[in-house]
Chains A and B, each alone.
Chain A
Amino acid sequence: MFASTSTLLDQEGARAAIIAVVSTLVFFGGAIALVVTSPNWPRVRDQFFNPDDFAAAAPNVVRGFWLNLELFGWSMLVIPFLALVVAVMRSLRGPAFLPIRLLAVAFTDIFRGIPLILLVLLLGFGVPALQIGFLPNGAQFWGLAALSLSYSAYTAEIYRSGIDAVPESQRSSARAVGLTQWQALRFAVLPQAIRNVVPALMNTVVSLQKDVALVSILGIREAVREAQIYTTRTFNYTSYLVAAALFLAISIPLTRFVDWYTARDRAQRSQSLV
């Protein structure tokens, strides 16, 4: 009985696999055929998919991409910390903390409310123009600042949703064993809150990795800027494809990792007895 069931399943499995392969080939084959047989394809191929231009543009674009990674790395150091500070400020209880809560609300409202590209322009061109002596003037610094402020505002809201999702009874319990409000937050609430939002945080990381490219409008010679320079010089767009490939090389593994982690986390949580 079991043997026959499993043979049946095997047969069904094999059939399903064949159907999947055939339908995939037909779909993508058709799509490619449609593009390749289009009247203007030879021109487009030369402009966007030119192997010679790919090779010629690659060194500069890759060098620029290192700068993307560097900015990405720095913002990854700043954002989780700044966002946590803002989220905690917003979660403090009691009338005495009202000014701190208001400050946190203003921070998230402002930096989440302004389109990131505008924030990059405002900080990147605006602040250096003020010529305030003790502030750095580098475009990289202000590009990084714009990214960090905007993403910190989003990330703070993610943290806050995690904090709100921890039941009030957990805070009561922590207070009941003698912990202060701050200790209850630090040792009982935040560890649970952060665990709640790790998948959401990791999705933000994926999106941050790509948004670093926005600082190119400040003239910073990162990957997209380098690709643009190549295009302006040669009237060939293949360099953009180089940049796209580089971003994909980071974001696809990162996305798969997020999926894997989220699935594992869900499995672990559903195993509980109570």
Chain B
Amino acid sequence: MADHNRDSEASPAKLELVDVHKSYGSRGVLNGMSLAVAEHEVVCLIGPSGCGKSTLLRCVDLLDPIDGGQILMDGVEISAPGVDSNAVRRRIGIVFQSFNLFPHLTVLDNVTLGPRRAHGVAKEEAEDRAMELLNRFGLGEKADAYPNRISGGQNQRAAIVRSLMGDPEILLLDEVTSALDPELVGEVLAVIRDLADRGLTMVLATHEMGFARDVADRVGFLHEGRVLEHGPPAQLFSSPTQPRTQQFLARVIEAGRL
């Protein structure tokens, strides 16, 4: 830890991936992925489908084991064998594209399940905290509703609240607006913007280029399982250096997404 001095220019990354490899069968999905995310930083990952965005986030939350390389949190390796993955997962929140709320539980029970069962928080305390967050994100009235009785946008906001219940140090968002009807995207993005303003460290995989430009401190372009280039959104979107990035952004602009 000596060389991770906070005063030095290279302050310890909140999250760091070093040469991470991951394949499913013979298909290499992450091929030497390296990325560092500072505390309070918001990093957006963009790139074509299949470039490894989702896999990267799943690996960081230790939902899938990596085949090579290292993942570090505050300079400590979390991908090493023998690390208590349940404990690591409690420090990280993740939100999925398809919400994945538990359909047999009410919104309130969805949100409090983790704290009560995994963190051993008392029911009343967990519910107080849950209601506070649900109210903040305009879901207070839906606390007793089942997921199939509320809209996709409300589902996704509830899923975000669920991921925030354990006070995560990092929040991972995997294309959280891709499954939503266009008119519901705004309400979810507003929540993410609010979290960014509060200084939560976040890594987002997204197709919302406009939003990425707006909210990100840094944007990374992923290609074939690696970060091909990264930089501040203004720079990456207006003057990308790599031909692949230029191609991708040209197509996105053509499709009217930027």
> Among B9-17, B34-42, B75-83, B142-150, which stretch is in contact with chain A?
B142-150
Q: Is the interface of A mostly helix, strand, loop or mixed?
A: helix
Contact of B114 (CB < 8 Å), options: A177, A192, A274: A177
In contact, B100 and A169 (Cβ under 8 angstroms): yes
In contact, B148 and A272 (Cβ under 8 angstroms): yes
Q: How many Å lie between the Cα of A230 and that of B102 in the bound state?
A: 57
Give the residue name and chain of the A residue nearest to B101 (CB): A173
Q: How many Å lie between the Cα of A65 and that of B150 in the bound state?
A: 50
In contact, A176 and B151 (Cβ under 8 angstroms): no
A177/B165 contact (C-beta < 8 A), A169-B96, A187-B113, A273-B151 known: yes
Q: How many Å lie between the Cα of A167 and that of B149 in the bound state?
A: 19
In contact, B100 and A192 (Cβ under 8 angstroms): no
Q: How many Å lie between the Cα of A274 and that of B151 in the bound state?
A: 7
List CB contacts (< 8 Å) of A160-217 with chain B. Answer: 167, 169-170, 172-180, 183, 187-188, 191-192, 195
Q: How many Å lie between the Cα of A176 and that of B90 in the bound state?
A: 8
Residues of B within 8 A of A177 (CB): 113-114, 118, 162-163, 165-166
A170/B119 contact (C-beta < 8 A), A179-B114, A187-B113 known: no
In contact, B149 and A195 (Cβ under 8 angstroms): no
Contact of A176 (CB < 8 Å), options: B63, B147, B148, B155: B63
A272/B102 contact (C-beta < 8 A), A176-B61, A176-B94, A179-B117 known: no
Q: Give the distance to chain B from A249, nearest Cβ to Cβ, in Å.
A: 35
A178/B151 contact (C-beta < 8 A), A169-B100, A173-B102, A192-B102 known: no
In contact, A175 and B63 (Cβ under 8 angstroms): yes
In contact, A169 and B98 (Cβ under 8 angstroms): yes
B27 interface residue (CB < 8 Å to A): no
Q: Give the distance to chain B from A218, nearest Cβ to Cβ, in Å.
A: 42
Q: How many Å lie between the Cα of A187 and that of B163 in the bound state?
A: 17
B50 interface residue (CB < 8 Å to A): no
B210 interface residue (CB < 8 Å to A): no
In contact, A192 and B89 (Cβ under 8 angstroms): no
A273/B149 contact (C-beta < 8 A), A175-B63, A179-B118, A192-B103 known: yes
Give the residue name and chain of the B residue nearest to A189 (CB): B102
A173/B96 contact (C-beta < 8 A), A178-B118, A272-B149, A274-B151 known: yes
Q: How many Å lie between the Cα of A272 and that of B104 in the bound state?
A: 12
- Report the tally of A-B residue pairs with Cβ distances under 8 A: 69
List CB contacts (< 8 Å) of B62-101 with chain A. Answer: 63, 86, 89-90, 93-94, 96, 98, 100-101
Q: Give the distance to chain B from A106, nearest Cβ to Cβ, in Å.
A: 29
In contact, A274 and B155 (Cβ under 8 angstroms): yes
Residues of B within 8 A of A195 (CB): 104
B152 interface residue (CB < 8 Å to A): yes
Residues of B within 8 A of A172 (CB): 58, 63, 96, 100
Residues of A within 8 A of B101 (CB): 173
Residues of A within 8 A of B89 (CB): 175-176, 178
A274/B100 contact (C-beta < 8 A), A176-B63, A176-B89, A179-B113 known: no
Q: How many Å lie between the Cα of A176 and that of B61 in the bound state?
A: 7
Q: Give the distance to chain A from B47, nearest Cβ to Cβ, in Å.
A: 22
Q: How many Å lie between the Cα of A174 and that of B96 in the bound state?
A: 12
Q: Give the distance to chain A from B25, nearest Cβ to Cβ, in Å.
A: 16
Q: Give the distance to chain B from A240, nearest Cβ to Cβ, in Å.
A: 45
Q: How many Å lie between the Cα of A176 and that of B86 in the bound state?
A: 9
Residues of A within 8 A of B150 (CB): 273-274
Residues of A within 8 A of B166 (CB): 177-178
In contact, B118 and A170 (Cβ under 8 angstroms): no
Q: How many Å lie between the Cα of A170 and that of B162 in the bound state?
A: 14
Contact of B86 (CB < 8 Å), options: A170, A178, A187, A273: A178
Q: Give the distance to chain B from A254, nearest Cβ to Cβ, in Å.
A: 26
Residues of A within 8 A of B149 (CB): 272-273
Give the residue name and chain of the B residue nearest to A195 (CB): B104
Contact of A170 (CB < 8 Å), options: B58, B100, B117: B100
Give the residue name and chain of the A residue nearest to B63 (CB): A172
21 A-B residue contacts at CB 8 Å? Answer: A169-B98, A170-B100, A172-B63, A172-B100, A174-B102, A175-B89, A176-B89, A176-B94, A177-B113, A177-B114, A177-B166, A178-B86, A178-B166, A179-B114, A183-B117, A188-B102, A195-B104, A272-B148, A274-B148, A274-B150, A274-B151
A172-B63, A179-B113, A179-B117 given; 13 more Cβ-contact pairs under 8 Å: A170-B100, A172-B58, A173-B101, A178-B86, A178-B119, A179-B114, A180-B118, A183-B117, A183-B118, A187-B113, A272-B149, A274-B151, A274-B152
Q: Which residues of B contact A (CB under 8 A)?
A: 58, 61, 63, 86, 89-90, 93-94, 96, 98, 100-104, 113-114, 117-119, 147-152, 155, 162-163, 165-166
